[in-house]
Amino acid sequence: MTEDTKPQGDPAVASELKGVPEELVDTASTGMITDEIQQLRDELEGAKQEVLYARADTQNLRRRLEKDIADARAYAATGFARDILSVSDNLTRALEAIPQELREDERLKGFVSGLEATAREIDKVFAQHDISRIAAMGLPLDPHQHQAMIEVPSTDAEPGTIVQELQAGYMIKDRLLRPAMVAVAKKPD
């Protein structure tokens, strides 16, 4: 093989052909081998990229599922909590409706104290499950926590300030369970 017929091109191919008798090395075939090797390298690089993308997708999916599972655990009681809020509201209304003179009546003291103990127990259970009452009175209206039901003309409060709570609102952890229904101050006509 002369200098001009020696394999040219890829040094990796030349090193692989080192030791092969020169009469067996064909420059045309070494060019084809070089092209095939380059094609295989490109395919390998593409396959590596696809594997990296697949790993990233799998990791993202795993994180999303872990978050969904954590949310499901944290907020599993949401439906039940919404339902029990009406029970709490009715108990609160019942306690507020008892006049002071009946509270002091010896025959009803046990009944009233039983209702008060039940209300405290509901509040304790709410606290255990991270259910908290939304503050409303005297605060500016927050549409993320309050629902304005009526506007009340007022000279005492700034417009947009809550002057009356019609129904208590609640949060479960950091999510709204039920907005507080409120009356908001407006400028008098």
pLDDT tens digit sequence for 130-175: 999 999 999 999 999 999 999 999 888 889 999 999 999 999 988 9
Q: How confident is the model at residue 7 (pLDDT cuts 50, 70, 90)?
A: very low
Distance CA(165)–CA(145), nearest Å, equals: 12
- Token readout for 81 is 């909590």
Q: How confident is the model at residue 1 (pLDDT cuts 50, 70, 90)?
A: very low
Residue 90: pLDDT over 70: yes
Residue 163 structural domain: 132-189
In whole numbers, what is the pLDDT of the chain averaged over residues? 86
**Which of 67, 97, 117 is the last residue in one of the domains?**
67
Residues 167 and 154 in one domain: yes
Domain count, the chain: 3
Distance CA(16)–CA(12), nearest Å, equals: 6
Model confidence, pTM: 0.64
Provide the terminal-to-terminal Cα distance of the chain, rounded to the nearest Å: 108
Residues 61 and 32 in one domain: yes
